[in-house]
Structure formats: structure tokens, C-alpha cells
Chains A and B, each alone.
Chain A
Amino acid sequence: MIEAVDIYKSFDGKMILDNVSATFKTGHTNLIIGQSGSGKTVLLKTLVGLHEPDSGSVIYDARNFTGMSDQERIDARKEIGMLFQGSALFDSQTVEENVRFPLDIFTDQSLEERRERANACLKRVNLENINHLFPSEISGGMQKRVAIARAIALNPRYLFCDEPNSGLDPKTAIVIDELIQEITQEYNMTTIVNTHDMNSVFAIGENIVFIYEGKKHWEGTSDDIFHSDNQALNDFIFASKFFKKIKEHR
């Protein structure tokens, strides 16, 4: 379980996160939703310590991440996997080297063992026989899957995904969403996914936090969404005619 407690964060005097508190459950795919620019990425990066909150704290299973010393954090980070918006694969490394990277740095395994582990992770995301290609030589959907394989290489307990299906076609997007959900359940991870994609909200949204102008405006499940009378949430979710119709027919 990950808890955000009274998080405030501003950049150059501009308030980006305004008193955000939320609880993210273990073994579940927790979603943070909201418009572009609402502060989702800043919240996710604050949760993993890439940004320091101005005040408030982040708690990982009763361990106060915000209060940790540098060395304690370095150790805690080995339990964190993160998937960035543009995949963020290392351009100069092959697919296999990318997935092996965390193992190369943090384990003392032999090359053979590390390669085996990398291949197992690649197989888990249904990628085989592309080990020697470079990121620029594979499709966006494949890049996302390689990034997932790299994120799970060290068996993390916590997985963070920043808009995992941005820039993908709807079918590939669903494949990625489902992959994240399956892996979360398989490894019993605490997974937090940022998204503004309504398909994801209804497909994998178990525990949803809605961020609006830097504040947490609502939280609930995908079923709750249909019964909410939160105006900002409704404007956001049912912006398209299609989703409006679905709501009317329920």
C-alpha cells in the first residue's frame, strides 16, 4: 500500500499539487486520472521521489519514504519499477541490454543469469526474437512492452506507469493496459497508473483518483463513476458523446 499524505508541490510559486491525499492498494491497478496539465505526472514523480514535496509525506507500506536518508532511499528504490510516458528506453542500447540494465547495475549475477532473467521478462511481455534490435527499430507498442520488461526486471513491489498507452492505437493500448493489470496481480504489486484514456478507466480502473487543477476532486471505482454527481468529473469522463450515451443507457 502506498499513501500520499497532504502533499503540496509548487514550481516557481505556482501551486501544482494542492493538498493531495490518497491511498493506493496492493495487488490492484490504481488509476490517477485528469486532464492534461492537471498535475498527474508531477504527482507520480513526487510519489517516487523524483520531485520532493514542499510538505506532506509519501508512505510505502508503513515506511516513510519522504523522511528517508539518501542511502535508505537508494535501497528502497530497488523495489520500485517505473514506466515513463515516452518509454524512455536507452537509445544506444539494444532491447536486451535495456532490460538487463538494472540487473547489470544492481546484481552480481553472471552474464548468463542476467540474460536469462532479461529473456524471461521479455517473454512475459510477449516479446521474443527482438533482443538485438535497437529501440528506434521497433514499434511504439513494442517499446512500451520493453519498458515494462525493464521495469519488472528486479521484481519490484511497486510499479508506476505514466500514461502507458499514450500514442498507441486503441487495440495496442488495451493490450498494454491488460498486461499491466495481469502483472500487477501476478506479482501482487502496488501499481499506480496515470491516464486520461477513458478506455483504461473502464477496463482496468479498480481504484480511481481524479485530479482536477492540482486537487483531488474525487475517488472511487469505475462503477462509482456512473453514479457520481461531481461536476468536474462528469465533464471530464463524459466529454465525448459516446461515453455520455453509455451513461444514459445504464
Chain B
Amino acid sequence: MTFLFHLGRYALFVRDVFRRPVKHRLLLTQTIKEMDVLGLSSVGIVFIISFFMGAVITLQTAYNIELPFIPKYTVGVAARDSILLEFSSTIVSLILAGKVGSHIASEIGTMRVTEQIDVLDVMGINSAGFLVLPKVLAMIFLLPFLVLISMGIGIIGGWTAGSLTGVVPSNDFIYGIQYAFIPFYIVYSLIKAVVFAFLITTISGYWGYYTTGGSLEVGHSSTRAVVVSSIQILLFNLLLTQLLLA
């Protein structure tokens, strides 16, 4: 019952988000501002996570296939595919669901409980669109870039860990990451990133927008935004994997 209620209201909310904006020039400046607030401020955390993720994947893979008849460069191949196919897009999106999702839900939730959204509505502004569309566009534009960065840094992390520990020699790793490379894997991850960006921003916007009460409820909305968007990312990850790679 509640699930259907939220699903229906979410669908209507998304329709409002994409309804005719008041002024296109304003939408552009707002979107650029959101790119700064939501995306660029996340570059640091993407760097750190991706580097360590790449390092751990490489070492794990190396220890797991430590057999004499398997060449060392296979570690490079396996690590590259894990990073490109799965880890960069999914992990970065999950991290951003936490960081960006809670930010969006609490910002919009606070605007709701302090009647700032009523101010927009009473002026006849499409408040859902005005507040959420710039965030959706900003993230749809930026998340693919963050995922690309994550892929690069992840591979550098893997190479660094492999070489420093001597588990995978530099030459083998570099040969491995070029071996049987399938460019579609990158496209596949970027498609996922666009879908995840849409999910994170609209779901978090939804929970913020329909906050009622006070600051306690803003906290609840924020938590719900993170939980629901994370679950949806995992669900759609499964769906898209089946759809795009099968």
C-alpha cells in the first residue's frame, strides 16, 4: 500500500520536475551552480575511494589466482574488467547516493519545513522543477565524468599496489590492462552512471520535497533518501547488467 502510494506520487513528482521551467537562462546558471556544489566537491572522495578500491581488487585477484600456469598479466585483465564493468560505476554511485542524496534531501526538506517551497508555489513557480531539475541535470552530466575519473584512478591504484608489493610486476600489469580490451565496457558503465544519477537526484528530491514537520523529519527524509536510492541503484544495476550485457 505505502509502496504503491510512494511510487505513484514519485511518478507525478518526476513529471513536475520535467515540466516547463520558468526561464531557461536561469535553469542554466542554476545547473552550473549545482555542478559545483554536488559534483566538483565529490572529486576528492572519488579519488581516494577509487585508488584504494583499485589497489585492493588487484591484490585480491592476484592472491586468488596464484597458480604457476596462469600468467601474471591475467591479474591486470581481471582487475581492469572488475573496475570498468562494476566497481567504478556502482561504488561511486553508491558513495554519491550517500553524499549527494543526503545533501539534496536535507536541503529541500529544510526548504519545505521553513515554508521556502510555499514561497515559490505562491508566486506560481513550479517548485519541484525549479529546485530539482538543476540537480538532476548537473548530476547526469557530471556522474559519467566522475566514473571515468574513478576508472583511471582505480587502475593507477591497482598498478601502484601490484608494483610496490611486487605481487604483479609493472610490465605484466600494463600488458594485462590492454589485453582483449572491450571499449563497450566503458560505454556500459557510463550508461549506468546516467541512470544512477537520475535515480539519486529524483529520489532524494522526492523525499526532501514531501517532508512534513520539523528538523527531526528532515533527518528522517535524508536517511530515507540514502537508503531508497542505494537500493534502487543496486536493483537497476542488476536490471541494466542483464539488459546491456546479456
Binding site for B on A (CB under 8 A): 45, 48-50, 73-75, 77-78, 80, 82, 84-86, 88-91, 102, 104-106
Contacts and interface: CB of A to CB of B under 8 A. Distances in A.
18 contacts: A48-B122, A50-B118, A50-B121, A50-B122, A77-B122, A77-B123, A77-B124, A78-B123, A80-B122, A84-B118, A88-B115, A88-B116, A88-B118, A88-B119, A90-B111, A105-B23, A105-B26, A105-B125
Contact of A84 (B22, B23, B119, B125): B119
B60 interface: no
Nearest to B130: A105
B114 interface: yes
For this complex, into which size category does the number of interface residues on chain B fall? 10 to 19
Contacts of B123: 77-78, 80, 102, 105-106
Contacts of A105: 22-23, 26, 123, 125
Interface of B: 22-23, 26, 110-111, 114-116, 118-119, 121-125
Contacts of B22: 105
A105 B22 CA distance: 7
A166 to B, nearest CB: 13
Given A88-B114, A104-B26, A82 B125 contact: no
Contacts, number: 44
Nearest to A74: B124
Contacts of A84: 115, 118-119
A41 to B, nearest CB: 10
A82 B119 contact: yes
A26 B79 CA distance: 74
Contacts of A78: 123-124
Contacts of A91: 110, 116
B120 to A, nearest CB: 9
Contacts of B118: 45, 50, 82, 84, 88
B26 A86 contact: no
A82 B122 contact: yes
